[in-house]
Structure formats: C-alpha cells, structure tokens
Amino acid sequence: MRTWTRSPLAAVAGAVLVGLSACSPGGNTDHAPTETTDASPSDEVLSEVTPCEMLPPDTLRSFGLQVPGKPTDGLPWTPACDYTGDPVGVTLVKNTRQTVASSEKKSTWASFDRITVNGRPGATAITKGSTQAQICNVLFDAGQGMIQVRAQESGRSDEIDECAKALEIAERIEPNVPEPA
C-alpha cells in the first residue's frame, strides 16, 4: 500500500496560504478551515487519489456494488465515481476544497452528526432535500480535503441502514487515502 508523506514544499506552500488567508473577505483567520478556490497543498496530496480506484474490485463487490464504477461529471474539485448495486448504490467523492469542519458550516444539511472514521474526523450527514431518498453521506478528512461516501438503499424494502453501510465503506477506504494534513 502506498504511504503518504507531506513534502517540505507542501508545508511551505501551506504556510504561505495561511498567511494569505488573513486577506480573505470573510476574515476567518480564527475559524479555520474555510473553503478555498486557490490551488492548495490538498490538490497535491489528494491529486493521486482517483475516486474509481479508492477500493479494489473485490471489496466493492463484497458490498454488492457493480464494477467498474462510472466516473460522474461534476465540479473539477469534486470528482466522483458512481456504483449501482444491491442492497445499496454508492457514489464516492473526493473533495479538495472542503473538510468535514468547513462542510459542517453549510446550511444544506437536515442532519450533521460528528463521528470518527478509523479515528479520523468525520461526519454522518443527510441533505435537506433528500430526507426521503434513503441517502446518507459519510465524510472524513483526507489531505487538506475530504472523502465522501454517499450510500443509498436500492429498491423499496427500507431494510438497510444506509448510514451504517456508508460508514462501513468509508472505513475500508480510509487506509487507502492520505492522512489529514
């Protein structure tokens, strides 16, 4: 398994960005982290993470997911991979501009509960417009961004705890992605 280390260059770049953040319009110098539109060390650290390759095919199949997954169109800083499956369908997302802490500040959540994913800062979240869609998001920090597992029960049975399933999948992904920076 690949090991992830931060380069001295990344550390210097991070220090420069911290300095620049004092000039941000929100002036959130004491409420880090906030989202950024600049190229940041997280782009470098997470750049080698590909959503469709975060888990090996056998592991994906063990969750009832069909491989290969399908890369989905989205914003450049939130590439994703979608898997249909039974009993759940799943979308795996890499987000290089947000962390669990910055996500928590958004008003889009019907619920946002802090958890840990193998010891990393994480959260279980349900969006306001999806409360009847049997969709649950598990987020956890990676690099200076985060990984998101969006699980949805497939079918009409309503017998699956999609949050538990999302967490199970997140725990399998966690060792394969960089440590929070």
* Residues within the interface to other proteins (CB under 8 A): 24-26, 28, 34-37, 70, 72, 74-75, 77-78, 80, 82, 84, 89-91, 93, 95-98, 102-103, 106-108, 127-135, 137, 150, 152, 154-156
Residue with tokens 């782009």, as numbered in its chain: 43
User: Over 163-176, what HEC string results?
Assistant: HHHHHHHHHHHHHH
- Start-to-end CA span in the chain (Å): 19
Tokens 């914003």, residue located: 75
In angstroms, rounded to a whole number, what is the distance separating the alpha carbons of residues 129 and 111?
11
The CB density around residue 87, as the number of other CB atoms within 10 Å, is: 15
In whole angstroms, the minimum distance from the beta carbon of 119 to other proteins comes to 24
Pick between residue 10 and residue 93 the one whose CB is nearest to other proteins: 93
Beta pairing partners, 16? none
Q: DSSP label at 7?
A: -
Instruction: Decide whether 12 or 16 has the Cβ nearer to other proteins.
Output: 16
| Cα 44 from Cα 143, distance rounded (Å) | 9
CB 1 to other proteins: min, Å: 28
Which of residues 38 and 119 has its CB atom nearest to other proteins in the complex? Answer: 38
Distance CA 66, CA 47 (A): 25
- Shortest Å distance, C-beta 19 to other proteins: 16
What is the nearest approach in angstroms of other proteins to the Cβ of residue 5?
25
Q: 36 or 124, CB closer to other proteins? A: 36
- What's the min distance (Å) between Cβ of 62 and other proteins? 19
Specify the residue, 90 or 177, whose C-beta has the smaller distance to other proteins.
Answer: 90
